[in-house]
Chains A and B, each alone.
Chain A
Amino acid sequence: MHGRVKVKSTAQQEEEKRKEREKKLKVYLAARDACFSKRKEGIWDEGALQVTQQLLSSNPDFGTLWNYRRETLMHLETVRDEDEVQKIYEAELSFLESCLKVNPKSYGSWHHRGWVSNRLPRPDWARELGLCDRCLSLDDRNFHCWDYRRVVVKMSGVPVDQELAFTDRLIGSNFSNYSSWHYRSTLLPLLHPESPEEPAPPPRRASSSPPPSPQSRSHRVCEEQLLKEYELVQNAFFTDPNDQSAWFYYRWLLGRAEREEIISCMFVSREEERVSVAFSRAVNSAGLLLVLDGQPQRVEWRSVHPRFKHSPVWICDLAPGTISDVTNEHNLTVHWMEKHTHRDCALYTGRTESWCRDSATDQELFRSDLSVEKTSVLQSELQSCNQLRELEPLNKWCLLTIILLMRALDPLGYEKETLAHFQTLEVSRAKTRPLDAEQEVGSLTSSFSFFLFSPSRQEVDSMRSAYYGDLCSKFMIENTILKMEYAEVRVFSISDKSLTTLCHLDQLLLVTHINLSSNQLHRLPPQFAMLQCLEVLEANNNSIENLEGVYHLPKLEEVLLKNNKISTLADLEPLASCPKLKRLDLRGNPVTQVANVEAELTALLPSVVDLLL
């Protein structure tokens, strides 16, 4: 059905074709009926093989017939001697070759060949590999053939280094061979594992956490081999920088194992008598235990928003009076049973709140996505990519990889260059707001080379500009988190950065003041409710129309939303769940034109005394 090209033909040719088809149809029907009556009568002989052969040659996807054939063959195994069986199966392999010539992508044919190879008394694996080579030379992306080759390799015990050499040859003759790079990615970790003796994986229990991924530790490659691979893949992308294969493979080589799973932050508030906990990944609440002064507590854990059964932040309320007395000191511990880890937090006398966390810097949170390589290796990779960029300034893969490497080496130090590269990737982003003088100079110098090559601003990958916009937003948020930590404050300020989306909100549990003004945000999503300590929310001059995430924020007093797109009273309902809200600025929003808006809002938000419309 796939991919038949239209061919015009004359009336006479049409008529000839029609006659031939009719003849074929008669033959087909006769054969099919003969087949089924034979099978019904339980006849499993060479005649059966002949009859099914006729049909399968023209329709290799008739699954039932392959099954009948397999039954016949299995029966013949019991009534013929080994040499005869060998001959029968070899004939079968020849037959399959002719089927595969007609349709090299038939599931039925490949599956049957695998079955036959498994049962052949004296298999000829070299022949099978030869078949695969021929098939791949015609279409090196035929995954049926690749899959079959893997099966043959496994069954015949071809050593991994031989297969690796095979991929060397294929890649050497054609760097664009994505399937070969893929195969290499599965072979390399087997041949050159990261640690020679991998500890046995812990016994699997029924748990809520995902089983280890293919990119986890046990599949990583040892460093010495990695360096050789870098060289190989650099040859590939220097030869053809527009070919995705090498870049994706390179990205994998630079990739990183999942980080340790921990309780990243714990916050205790006397006033709300509440404990808020942030985890390194989304979890469900089963298996969380709170211990207060040595006593396990019966508490109900809830996520920040009813939408989330799975969340990186969980909250529980203590019984009234438990920790409210400021003259008492308390020790709290949260246990994450499944991971055998816990976090302690001491609430001191005279203090109304307390917290305990690992900093993002310590966790190497945002040197994300790259393995723990020596800095010098990363530097040299960055140098190579920059060399390529001089030759190919508009190549998106190159730019993305450079961004990735810069973030791994020094996210804050390379911030300006990163922004400039994003602008090259998606010029439409730059059009939405004027660059300020400082940034303009920065971007001009780093983008100078492409001004040389193209008189007008050219779009490198404008098709994915929305994606790059969000990706850049993510990096800017990461940098702001780092800056916040260095300054040791709980104020998160990221205004005028063309933010299109919010992320890492689970890292902002302790933030008291947030400034998102003058960006391109459309909503404050439910995850925003993770900002449990928030007192002041500034988000003027955005395009916000949805406030779902401003939900049950116990300390929130001020919300500034001037010049946004809030249009109905319903949009403001979440705010009613914030008991301390005093000041609300809605100037410049369509909702201010709604009839009777002031009275409605006073009724909806009784705690607000300072309402600006």
Chain B
Amino acid sequence: MAEEESQFEEFEQIDFLGDRHVRFFQRTLQVLPERYASLETTRLTIIFFALSGLDVLDALDVIDRNTMIEWIYSLQVLPTEDQANLSRCGFRGSSHIGIPYSTKGPGVLHPYDSGHVAMTYTGLCSLLILGDDLSRVNKQACLAGLRALQLEDGSFYAVPEGSENDIRFIYCAASICYILDDWSGMDIQKAIEYIRGSLSYDSGFGQGAGRESHGGWTYCAIASLCLMGRLEEALSQRELDRIRRWCIMRQQSGFHGRPNKPVDTCYSFWVGATLELLDVFQYTNFDKNRRFILSTQDRLVGGFAKWPDSHPDPLHAYLGLKVHPALNITQRAFQHVQQLQQTWRGSTGSCSRHLCTFAISK
């Protein structure tokens, strides 16, 4: 009986349950279910999903910004007195290594403490979202830590001790350089070569050369080139048209990430944002996409799931909402970073054409 009723309810209206999502993100920031335990090492990314989600929903007031800002700064891997660890600086994912809590330097030397490129990226974004001016970020240390992660072939490791290396971390690096307004953090030309080398026979991007095309890696490639301001230099018109075609064919109702795979909420962002950066989002069927996303909405606890009738999680909950396509933050947060950059430079910011012309209203 209960099941029939709830199905009937769903039939009546597929509406957007803003309040439930706010509460979902609030809970994400407080306590997570046990099955998330393995994500402890990447906790900062979960926080980012929740914070940016609340930002999109215009509900950041439900949290204590200052406490949150302090906690994020406590994750910064700062240089030690003698600066011996400069190439390991950045932000860490959480306190799981056991470094004593501190929001100011000098850093503490620990053999296994280092920044992680995705944590540095989400850490900086989170601070921006909370309205922080990044004045306590040790920019030079972050950039030194970033340089240490780039390989000869242009891709990046996630951590200085080594890890897998691929196009995801190029995106993180490009975002970091963009936010800090300082491209000395990476060798752009090498990164572009790696990106181009990842272009597959069907004009999607793989994680690296010879690897299968995928919506997520295509996003990383295109967004990185946009952030660098090199999209039309790095790719010819013909290549861009073919990439557009590959992306457009990902829409089934919502989007999938690869041919012959089921649709998944998060690809509405990865592929949708790519299409927007390539100026052809108007080729998609907005209505079908929206209906699919709303069908993955959890009407009880809030949030969005990967598929209908699955558990919602912060990543899909966040990517089901709409944000700035290149930096993956709200327009408000994006404007904040532009203003900051103006004060740093003392002149008008000069972002690439693709980033300036977005006027996404919520």
Residues of A within 8 A of B (CB): 1-6, 21, 25, 28, 32, 36, 39-40, 58-64, 67-68, 107, 110-111, 141, 143, 146-147, 150, 176, 178-179, 182, 185-186, 206, 208, 210-211, 213-215, 243-245, 248-249, 251-252, 255, 258, 281-282, 284, 307, 310, 368-369, 462-464, 466-467, 470
User: In the docked arrangement, what's the CA distance between A25 and B33, Å?
Assistant: 13
Q: A25-B37, A58-B38, A251-B202 are in contact. List 18 more A-B contacts (CB 8 A).
A: A1-B39, A61-B41, A63-B41, A64-B161, A141-B258, A143-B214, A178-B258, A178-B260, A182-B213, A210-B196, A213-B239, A243-B260, A248-B202, A282-B232, A282-B237, A307-B353, A464-B251, A466-B284
Contact of A464 among B161, B189, B248 (CB under 8 A): B248
A-B residue pairs, 6 tightest by C-beta: A185-B201, A467-B283, A244-B259, A463-B285, A59-B38, A4-B311
By a CB distance below 8 angstroms, the chain A residues around B345 are none
User: In the docked arrangement, what's the CA distance between A64 and B116, Å?
Assistant: 11
Q: Are B38 and A61 in contact (CB under 8 A)?
A: yes
Residues of B within 8 A of A (CB): 34-42, 96-98, 111-112, 116, 158-159, 161-164, 189, 192-193, 196-197, 199-202, 207, 209-214, 232-239, 246, 248-249, 251, 258-261, 264, 280, 282-285, 288, 305-307, 309-311, 313-315, 353
Q: Are B196 and A244 in contact (CB under 8 A)?
A: no
User: In the docked arrangement, what's the CA distance between A467 and B41, Å?
Assistant: 43
Contact of B283 among A176, A211, A466 (CB under 8 A): A466
CB contact under 8 A between A310 and B232, given known A64-B97, A213-B196, A244-B249:
yes
CB contact under 8 A between A258 and B213, given known A5-B310, A213-B199, A467-B283:
no
Q: Are B97 and A4 in contact (CB under 8 A)?
A: no
Contact of B251 among A1, A5, A6, A463 (CB under 8 A): A463
Contact of B39 among A39, A61, A68, A179 (CB under 8 A): A61
Contact of A1 among B193, B196, B315, B353 (CB under 8 A): B315
Q: Are B163 and A258 in contact (CB under 8 A)?
A: no
User: In the docked arrangement, what's the CA distance between A369 and B241, Å?
Assistant: 11
Q: Are A21 and B201 in contact (CB under 8 A)?
A: no
Q: Are A36 and B97 in contact (CB under 8 A)?
A: yes
Q: Are A214 and B310 in contact (CB under 8 A)?
A: no
Q: Are A252 and B202 in contact (CB under 8 A)?
A: yes
Q: Are B307 and A3 in contact (CB under 8 A)?
A: yes
User: In the docked arrangement, what's the CA distance between A147 and B201, Å?
Assistant: 16
By a CB distance below 8 angstroms, the chain B residues around A249 are 201-202
By a CB distance below 8 angstroms, the chain B residues around A40 are 111
User: In the docked arrangement, what's the CA distance between A381 and B208, Å?
Assistant: 33
Question: Distance in Å from the Cβ of B103 to the closest Cβ of chain A?
Answer: 22
Smallest CB-CB separation from A282: which chain B residue? Answer: B232
User: In the docked arrangement, what's the CA distance between A5 and B236, Å?
Assistant: 43
By a CB distance below 8 angstroms, the chain A residues around B98 are 36
By a CB distance below 8 angstroms, the chain A residues around B280 are 467
By a CB distance below 8 angstroms, the chain A residues around B246 are 248
Question: Distance in Å from the Cβ of A448 to the closest Cβ of chain B?
Answer: 28
By a CB distance below 8 angstroms, the chain B residues around A58 are 38
User: In the docked arrangement, what's the CA distance between A97 and B259, Å?
Assistant: 28
User: In the docked arrangement, what's the CA distance between A556 and B249, Å?
Assistant: 41
CB contact under 8 A between A5 and B311, given known A36-B97, A185-B200, A464-B285:
yes
By a CB distance below 8 angstroms, the chain A residues around B315 are 1-2
Q: Are A210 and B235 in contact (CB under 8 A)?
A: yes
Question: Distance in Å from the Cβ of B213 to the closest Cβ of chain A?
Answer: 7
Question: Distance in Å from the Cβ of B232 to the closest Cβ of chain A?
Answer: 5
User: In the docked arrangement, what's the CA distance between A252 and B204, Å?
Assistant: 12
By a CB distance below 8 angstroms, the chain B residues around A62 are 38, 41
By a CB distance below 8 angstroms, the chain B residues around A60 are 38
A sample of 8 cross-chain residue pairs with beta-carbon separation below 8 angstroms, ordered by A number, consists of A2-B313, A36-B97, A59-B37, A107-B163, A147-B207, A178-B260, A463-B288, A467-B280
Q: Are B207 and A258 in contact (CB under 8 A)?
A: no
User: In the docked arrangement, what's the CA distance between A21 and B34, Å?
Assistant: 8
Question: Distance in Å from the Cβ of B77 to the closest Cβ of chain A?
Answer: 13
Smallest CB-CB separation from B229: which chain A residue? Answer: A309
Smallest CB-CB separation from A20: which chain B residue? Answer: B34
By a CB distance below 8 angstroms, the chain B residues around A150 are 210-211
User: In the docked arrangement, what's the CA distance between A477 and B159, Å?
Assistant: 51
Question: Distance in Å from the Cβ of A112 to the closest Cβ of chain B?
Answer: 10
Q: Are B201 and A107 in contact (CB under 8 A)?
A: no
Contact of B238 among A25, A68, A244, A258 (CB under 8 A): A258
By a CB distance below 8 angstroms, the chain B residues around A64 are 41, 97, 112, 161
User: In the docked arrangement, what's the CA distance between A63 and B189, Å?
Assistant: 29
Q: Are A4 and B35 in contact (CB under 8 A)?
A: yes
User: In the docked arrangement, what's the CA distance between A464 and B311, Å?
Assistant: 30
Smallest CB-CB separation from B196: which chain A residue? Answer: A211
Question: Distance in Å from the Cβ of B210 to the closest Cβ of chain A?
Answer: 5
Q: Are A210 and B236 in contact (CB under 8 A)?
A: yes
Q: Are A2 and B306 in contact (CB under 8 A)?
A: yes
Q: Are A178 and B259 in contact (CB under 8 A)?
A: yes
CB contact under 8 A between A143 and B313, given known A63-B163, A466-B283:
no
Smallest CB-CB separation from B159: which chain A residue? Answer: A63
User: In the docked arrangement, what's the CA distance between A368 and B241, Å?
Assistant: 12
Contact of B260 among A1, A208, A245, A467 (CB under 8 A): A245
Smallest CB-CB separation from A107: which chain B residue? Answer: B164
Q: Are A206 and B189 in contact (CB under 8 A)?
A: yes
Smallest CB-CB separation from B306: which chain A residue? Answer: A3
Smallest CB-CB separation from B311: which chain A residue? Answer: A4
Question: Distance in Å from the Cβ of B360 to the closest Cβ of chain A?
Answer: 19
Considering residues A68, A282, A467, which has the most beta carbons from chain B within 10 angstroms of its beta carbon? A467
By a CB distance below 8 angstroms, the chain A residues around B200 are 182, 185, 214
Q: Are A186 and B210 in contact (CB under 8 A)?
A: yes
By a CB distance below 8 angstroms, the chain B residues around A141 are 258, 260-261
By a CB distance below 8 angstroms, the chain A residues around B249 are 244, 464
User: In the docked arrangement, what's the CA distance between A462 and B306, Å?
Assistant: 25
Considering residues A68, A252, A463, which has the most beta carbons from chain B within 10 angstroms of its beta carbon? A463
Question: Distance in Å from the Cβ of B356 to the closest Cβ of chain A?
Answer: 10
User: In the docked arrangement, what's the CA distance between A249 and B213, Å?
Assistant: 12
By a CB distance below 8 angstroms, the chain A residues around B259 are 178, 244-245, 248
By a CB distance below 8 angstroms, the chain A residues around B41 are 61-64
User: In the docked arrangement, what's the CA distance between A110 and B163, Å?
Assistant: 11
Question: Distance in Å from the Cβ of A181 to the closest Cβ of chain B?
Answer: 9
Smallest CB-CB separation from B285: which chain A residue? Answer: A463
Q: Are B236 and A281 in contact (CB under 8 A)?
A: yes
By a CB distance below 8 angstroms, the chain A residues around B285 are 462-464
Question: Distance in Å from the Cβ of A178 to the closest Cβ of chain B?
Answer: 5
Q: Are B212 and A68 in contact (CB under 8 A)?
A: no
Q: Are B310 and A252 in contact (CB under 8 A)?
A: no
Question: Distance in Å from the Cβ of A421 to the closest Cβ of chain B?
Answer: 16
By a CB distance below 8 angstroms, the chain B residues around A470 are 283
Question: Distance in Å from the Cβ of A432 to the closest Cβ of chain B?
Answer: 16
User: In the docked arrangement, what's the CA distance between A32 and B201, Å?
Assistant: 45
Question: Distance in Å from the Cβ of B82 to the closest Cβ of chain A?
Answer: 20
Question: Distance in Å from the Cβ of A216 to the closest Cβ of chain B?
Answer: 11
User: In the docked arrangement, what's the CA distance between A478 and B72, Å?
Assistant: 55
User: In the docked arrangement, what's the CA distance between A215 and B213, Å?
Assistant: 14
Question: Distance in Å from the Cβ of B212 to the closest Cβ of chain A?
Answer: 5
CB contact under 8 A between A281 and B233, given known A63-B159, A182-B202:
no
User: In the docked arrangement, what's the CA distance between A182 and B203, Å?
Assistant: 11
User: In the docked arrangement, what's the CA distance between A124 and B42, Å?
Assistant: 34
By a CB distance below 8 angstroms, the chain A residues around B313 are 1-2, 4
CB contact under 8 A between A214 and B261, given known A244-B249, A466-B283, A467-B283:
no
User: In the docked arrangement, what's the CA distance between A133 and B93, Å?
Assistant: 35
CB contact under 8 A between A211 and B193, given known A248-B259, A282-B232:
yes
